[in-house]
Structure 1
Amino acid sequence: MSPFAIVVRGLGRLARSVWRWWRGLSREQRGPAMLLGGAVGLLLWLTPYALWLTCGAVLTAAAWSGWGGGPAARERRAARAAAEERLAVLYEALVPHFSLPSDPSPDPLYAHGGVWQRCFPSVTVSDDGRISGLRLRYPAFFPDGDPECRERVERLLAAKAGRGREFRFRWDEEEGELDMVAVEPLPTGIGAQRFVAASGEVVLGFTDAGAVDRTVPVRGGPGCGEPVEAAPVVWRAGPRTAEPHLLAVGVPGSGTSSLLRSVALQALQDADVLLVDGSGAGEFSCFAGRSGVVSVESSPSGGVAALEWAARETERRLLAPCDGARDARALWIVVDRPALLGHLAAVQGLRDPLESLRVPLRFGRAGRVTVALAEQFEGLAVLGAVAACARARVVLGAASAEQVAGVLGAAPRVAPAGVVPPGRGFARLGAGPVYRLQVPATPDPGDEAADEAARRAVLALLPGWVGREGSVAGRE
């Protein structure tokens, strides 16, 4: 291509850039911009040689732009063009949410065929042309205090900006602006291991760096080499905590049983643990006969009997002298699928196990009794008041924002992704903030489909074997 054609093409690109900038200005901004341009032009005209130098600079910039600036610049320009197409589509999709048919403004921010540059003052584009950050302005009449209206906009932005990623949103009601940032995915390679935690503390999983005020060294993080620092979501149990019990909710295959195994492994370091598998799938069979394990029950009759013993043991601890209750070893009650267990018990004419669970859930904190439950969304209605006693909450799996908010009591600031790995979700401790969460991989050692290294890690953490005197009947 001839030098003349390169310069002409560059001048065209520069002109289009100026035109896009001009279209992005509001009517109130165009007047001062024209005044500033006229002042600069007059200054250049009066200054010796300034006009010639300016022409030379423009021709040089046009030649560089027309030539392309090298392969890297061409790739960046192609990515930017792809991002601009996405922004134009996103703008048109936002028009129904941010416009009114009766809007009296002569130059509304959002209108079909309007200028998207005015509404997106800041845009961050990744190397592949995807939108990774965005700031948008919205009109003053938009009800930004309505959670449903906010959620509709957030869901639209997450869908249009690129599926498979999670986005964090921050609404600035005072300025009428919304910031959207694509967050980095949480590491999925962290498995079961001994975490640095105090007595009574349980690491539920890991969250974004900076979201919590502590870090712990872990193996299996990014790079899978030397131990790295990760930000844990720590749940504190015991008589002095405000969230003495845990409820984990998820969809099938989301990792709630894996979370309970992780909790039980950590609790066994300084407490006795009773495990009840309401589904009867043998999820906790690896704990049977281990030191510190009160019992492992997988049948409806066994589960009902174990929870009746747990209720009596809670009452015994409450009636014991204060010194004896304080010196007693803590007791953890871990129940998977309690709603299903209650249904199977009713079919067999057994006592409702949920009635037995109410005693340790309501009064167990004073006797150093902690309850950890895991249930699926369809079983929450059956739990009723039982679930209300567990103020430490976890939601795992591909759940909608309404489901997450219904369990945690607050909507997450990050839009849930459509497809998530096992163990990925959100956590909230009491009235605290909502954290993103990745549960450490803690598979059943008997599951041959699970990763071999993760299964070996679980086996290495299990306590040693004991005789039958460790059963429920023996402790009564």
Structure 2
Amino acid sequence: MSLTRHLSRGRDFARTAGDHAADMFAPLALIGRGLRRHADWAKGRWAATPKERRGPTLFLTLAALIGTALLPHGPLFAVVALMASAAWVGRQPKAAAEPAPDVAAVKLAALYAALTPYLAGPEELGSPYRPDGEIKDVFHSWEFDPLGRLTALELSYPVWFTDTEPAARARIEQVLQGKAGRGREYRFDWDEESNRLRLTALAPLSTGIAAQPFVTSPGEIVLGFTDSDGSHRTIPVVQDGVPAQQPPVVWRTGPRSAEPHLLILGGAGTGTSSLLRSVALQALPYGDLVVIDGAGTGEHACLVNRPGVHTVETSLHGALAALEWVAKETERRLTVLNAARHHGIAAPEDATRPLWLMLDHPTELSELAQAEGRTDPQDLLETPLRHGRAARVTVVFADDAEARDRVSATVRSTCRARVVLGPTTPEAAAAALGAPLDIAPAARTPVGRGYARVGAAAPVRLQVPATVDPLDEEVSPQLRDAVIALLPHRDTRIEAPAPSAAPAA
């Protein structure tokens, strides 16, 4: 009993001593807390002060301290005032900040609630999508970037959902894109066998690649650049002033090409004329060029009187004359090439050198011709389009996306290399490219952003190299100089070698 009594008295003494110590050091803790808050306030004020005002502020502070030190009992009064202020500021402990809500949980809950009306089924079937359902039952994995944006999501959907119907898929994709943010592109991977859907936010393509010489073979045209999944090779480029390797979208032209002609669709300001200039600058060292500017905006005036450029026409009369010449030139080339093959001799260079016909907004000339009762310029494209591959004649047709219905059936059927630029919808992109798009387009896109499809391949994302009009003084001088450096001169023309003679029969 004596030992127990002594232990109890020891505990009481320790508790009493602790309480006395706490009471004794409470003022020190109060003042220390206030001094810390004063220091935090001073740091915040110093960080918020502009750099050009920090010098005068520091000078005035030092002057005030020196003035206080020179006063009678000044340092003592300053210390007392500081301690009193610290005790007042530190009298209440800082309230604990409420924990921030889990961004992932909040966004996933909103996404689950948005999907429920579309994926909920009969109650007797026990649908995993219901008002009181659990997210973990349908969302299997997800990722968020540092900004709190959804970048990847894998979810399961009920077996009765009609995942084979495009309309049903489109509704779910629209909901997912709306909740994840319409400012980015998303790829949707539907696994019909396991009833799972994977959403992936695609990284934006680089817009820092300007017009420059590209490492390609003759007959290869770089339409732009895509992500690593859209190309099997990379080429060296200068990106934002730094050497880099980027995967290109390559269009192969020539007599052995399965896609001898190109169709470009896009709205105003989306980069269709920029892509035409890029193709022209790549084609001119090896071939000749005829340009028809149906819009009459002078976007291609930089090509006037350049070596290899036969003509740049902006009027209906000049366009009709140029197209008639191209049609007759195609027929002449076919005759010369057939005669050379028949006699087993090499074809002359004027029949083998590539000829490019570039048309910018020709449907506007078609409307003007219809109003004047003249020949539709698109009717004169029949021969170059049908026989251009054999005659080494390539047609590049660029027009407004809204004018797609006014593009002739011959152009749509023979131009198997296609590009659509600017903001679009999955339905419009599928109609322009001739194949469904497995990517949800972004609501806003930079100039030159779009999608490309070469032949029967799947559509890929595309960023056209910045090829501005060098005569436009409102654009960056660096971009204009890059285009001027690529404009052809007499010493940049590359003569194509004549083909070897075929063996005599």
Q: TM-score, normalised by structure 1?
A: 0.78
Q: Which of 248, 254, 261 lines up with 2:277 in the alignment? A: 261
- 2:483 aligned residue (444, 458, 461): 458
Could you tell me which residue of structure 2 aligns to residue 306 of structure 1? 322
Answer yes or no: is the 8 Å Cα contact 1:265–1:462 preserved in 2: yes
The 8 Å contact of residues 318 and 325 in structure 1, kept in 2 or not, is answered as no
Distance 1:313 1:186 in 2: 40
Q: What stretches of structure 2 of length at least 5 have no aligned partner?
A: 1-96, 492-505
Displacement after TM superposition at 1:242 (Å): 0.7
What CA deviation, in whole Å up to 9, does each residue of 1:249-273 have, x standing for no partner? 0111111111001001101020111
1:89 matched residue in structure 2: 110
1:133 and 2:149 are equivalent in the alignment: no
Of the structure 1 ranges 342-351 and 115-124, higher mean CA displacement relative to structure 2 is found in 342-351
Secondary structure at the residue paired with 2:223? strand
- SS of corresponding position for 2:228: coil
Kept in 1, the 8 Å contact 2:266–2:422? The answer is yes
Are residues 1:243 and 2:263 paired? Answer: no
Following superposition, the deviation at residue 78 of structure 1 comes to 4.5
Q: How does 1:22-41 map to 2 (within 5 A)?
A: none
**Matched residue, 2:434:** 409
The within-5 A match list for 1:334-345 is 334-345=358-369
User: Unaligned 5+ residue runs, structure 1?
Assistant: 1-73, 467-476
Task: From 250, 258, 274, give the equivalent of 1:234.
Answer: 250
Aligned pairs (5 A) from 1:76-475: 78=100, 81-100=102-121, 102=122, 104-105=124-125, 107-219=126-238, 221=239, 224-320=240-336, 321=339, 322=341, 323-324=346-347, 328-385=352-409, 386-464=411-489
> Once the two structures are superposed, what CA deviation does each residue of 1:353-372 show, in whole Å capped at 9, x if it has no partner?
11111211111100011000
AA partner of residue 361 (structure 2): R
Which one is further off, 244-253 or 150-159? Answer: 150-159
Offset, 1:407:
1.0
Deviation string 1:4-53 (CA, Å, 9 cap, x unpaired) is xxxxxxxxxxxxxxxxxxxxxxxxxxxxxxxxxxxxxxxxxxxxxxxxxx
Instruction: Look up the SS of the partner of 1:144 in the other structure.
Output: coil
Larger Rg: 2
Counterpart amino acid of residue 258 in structure 1: S
Distance of aligned partners of 1:355 and 1:121 in 2 relative to their CA distance in 1, 3 Å threshold: same
Report % sequence identity. Answer: 49
String of CA shifts for 1:402-453, please: whole Å, max 9, x gaps: 1000011222222100000010000001110111000001111111222221
Partners of 1:96 and 1:308 in 2: how far apart? 60
8 Å CA contact 1:301, 1:350 repeated in 2: no
Distance in 1, matches of 2:268 and 2:165, equals 32
| TM-score (structure 2 length as normaliser) | 0.74
Q: Contact between 1:364 and 1:370, CA under 8 Å: does it hold in 2?
A: yes
Q: Secondary structure of 1:128's match? A: coil
Provide the aligned C-alpha RMSD in A.
1.8
Q: Assess if the C-alpha contact under 8 Å between 2:378 and 2:408 holds in 1.
A: no
Question: CA offsets, 1:201-232, max 9 Å, x none?
Answer: 0000000024211101111x2xx243100000
Q: Which SS does the other structure have where 2:199 is aligned?
A: strand
Distance in 1 of aligned mates of 2:382 and 2:151:
47
Per the TM alignment, residue 115 of structure 1 is displaced from its structure 2 partner at its CA by 1.4
The range that moved more, 202-211 or 110-119, is: 110-119
* Contact 1:92-1:113 at 8 Å conserved across structures: no
Comparing 339-348 with 434-443, greater Cα deviation is found at 339-348
Confirm or deny: 8 A CA contact 1:301 1:345 kept in the other structure: no
The more displaced of 427-436 and 377-386 is: 377-386
Equivalent residue, structure 1, for 2:33: none
Contact preservation (8 Å) 1:428, 1:434? yes
How many angstroms does 1:103 deviate by?
5.3
Contact 1:255 1:396 survives alignment (8 Å) = yes
Displacement of 1:347 in angstroms is 2.7
